[in-house]
Amino acid sequence: MGEKVVAGQFDLSDRQRYRDKLRTCLTGLERLLAEQRFDRPKNLMGLEIELNLVGADGMPRMLNGEVLERIASRDFQTELAMFNLEVNIAPHQLGGRVFDRLSEELRTSLAYADRKAGELDAGIVMIGILPTLDRDDLVSSNLSDVDRYTLLNDQIVAARGEDFLLDIDGVERLTCTSKSIAPEAACTSVQLHLQVTPGRFADVWNAAQAVAGVQIAVGANSPFLFGRELWRESRPPLFQQSTDTRPPELQTQGVRPRTWFGERWISSAYDLFEENLRYFPALLPICDDEDPLKVLDEGGVPSLAELVLHNGTVYRWNRPVYDIADGVPHLRVENRVLPAGPTITDVIANAAFYYGLVRALAEESRPVWTRMPFEAAAANFDAACRHGIDARMTWPRRGRYGGTVEVDAVTLVRDELLPLAEAGLAAWGVERADRDLYLGVIEERCRRRANGASWQAATFHRALEAGLSREAALAATTRRYGELMRQGEPVHTWPVGLPEPAPLG
């Protein structure tokens, strides 16, 4: 989504030329891997957070262009719709008090951005899906005024050939249609990057896939869409359906969706890039002038621009990334599972849990993905999206007998995964103070069975019981969420319900 592309029309020859160029890029990637040209271990992680612009009434504000002008920082960028922003934190080395440093950087950046938004009677809210969004907010006229979004929307709409159907059956059921990909903009997430060597890539990606369901269970924060209470984490079904290029007939044939969990464990990063070429037609067949094989022959490093662009239009929940820094290529695993929010402390706790857990699981002598079917990991992800903190998971049985067992997500996390995450963070060299603080947040969520989604749902129902209409209850819940988010205490400490009105006189 972040590629600099310009709007234009494609003719029939563009797609064939692009397909040929993609294959050349894939050959270039294969050579880079074989020649061991990739960066050495640096233990680098990175963080991106998608944000919402919200008025004092709790409603979305379509002001990202004006707000970005006032922020005037390259750390902040546009996102898909005019009520979205994204903040990018520079890469950090895992170790020491890295999570405290990240927390302080985010607090400073978001407080500044919030003040600038306040000059336009708006504020910044970190939340998976803004509860007050209406169908009229998510239309093509509210897409950000950026060529790449217009072009991407046009190409996905053309590939589908008909309206997009949104059908999510949760606590309540939502069924509606959209003429554009704009509903995707409702999904605001946290993206966690981890730079890895080619030799470690498959183990880290497999580990990340194995724990995606657990991440959602403890971090769910998206229970509402268009006034309906749906899944505890409604972003994944919404994202899949709002970008689905497949009409019903192709879905019935088993054609894979572009928003995709995957279908197998891998043995190399190459597997994922190759699958992306094999299964997914180009959406943006824009060719670069570079000849990647010639660049390699001359001892250079190819940008593989077509491969990078195509990879960015296949929305895996754990995505492979090829990039170049200081003239040296590297690979990253981009974890796209988590919703934004609720607080900076919660975001950093989710990150600490993830980075510790994937390190520990990737280095186990009997890795979890050798003891659990891939289908179980996919089912865990689905169960966590539906049920959040109350989900049940399939996980390899402890001991020598093998097989899998079904267990509450909170029990799995507290008894087995938190100790692994602690060991993984220690292996990264993260200091005990950071490990204890941020993993303690995850432990408390599990102990109280409380996360952003459970707080939103409980507060909404309290507001209904107090006599508010559905729309007023969602708006009041959103306003209260924003207040508590700014106070900064982690979500498991938030009091459920709306504050009592102050007495008059």
DSSP-derived secondary structure for 154-184? HHHHHHH-SPEEEEEESSSEEEEEESSSGGG
pLDDT of residue 503: 57
Distances (CA, A) of 329 to 35, 39, 198, 203: 12, 6, 11, 19
Summarize pLDDT for 409-433 with one digit per residue, the tens: 999 999 999 999 999 999 999 999 9
Q: CB atoms < 10 A from the CB of 297, how many?
A: 10
Tokens 């190409």 correspond to what residue?
155
The pair of three-digit structure tokens given for residue 5, joined into one six-digit string: 């592309």
Say how far apart CA 437 and CA 386 lie, in whole Å.
28
**Percent of all residues in the chain with a pLDDT value above 70, rounded to a whole number:** 97
**pLDDT at res. 504:** 54
Is the pTM above the cut of 0.75?
Answer: yes
Query: From CA 423, how far away is CA 111, in angstroms rounded?
Result: 33
pLDDT of residue 9: 63
HEC profile of 361-417: HHCCCCCHHHCCCHHHHHHHHHHHHHHHHHCEEEEECCCCCCCEEEEEHHHHHHHHH
Q: Give CA–CA dist 87/313, Å, rounded.
A: 20
Q: Are 79 and 88 in contact (CB under 8 A)?
A: no
- Tell the residue number behind the tokens 């891998």, with chain if given: 266
Looking at residue 50, its pLDDT comes to 98
25 within 8 A of 168, measured Cβ to Cβ: no
pLDDT of residue 32: 97
Q: Where do we find the tokens 């997500």?
A: 409
Task: Give me the DSSP letters along 437-475.
Answer: HHHHHHHHHHHHT--HHHHHHHHHHHHHHTT--HHHHHH
Distance CA 260, CA 318 (A): 9
Left, alpha or beta for 326 (phi > 0: left; psi -120 to 50: alpha)? left
Question: Distance between terminal CA atoms of the chain?
Answer: 54
* DSSP letter, residue 142: G
- Structure confidence at residue 461 (pLDDT): 98
The whole-angstrom separation of Cα 147 and Cα 426 is 44
Interatomic CA distance for residues 282 and 289, integer angstroms: 18
What is the pLDDT, as a whole number, of residue 398?
Answer: 84
Residue 342 preceded by cis peptide, ω within 30: yes
The pLDDT, as a whole number, for residue 8 is 53
Query: Which residue numbers in the chain have pLDDT < 50?
Result: 1-7
Helix (H) or strand (E) holding 311: helix 305-311
- Residue 9, burial from CB neighbour count under 10 angstroms (0-12, 13-18, 19+): exposed
Q: What are phi and psi of 376, to 5 degrees?
A: -70, -40
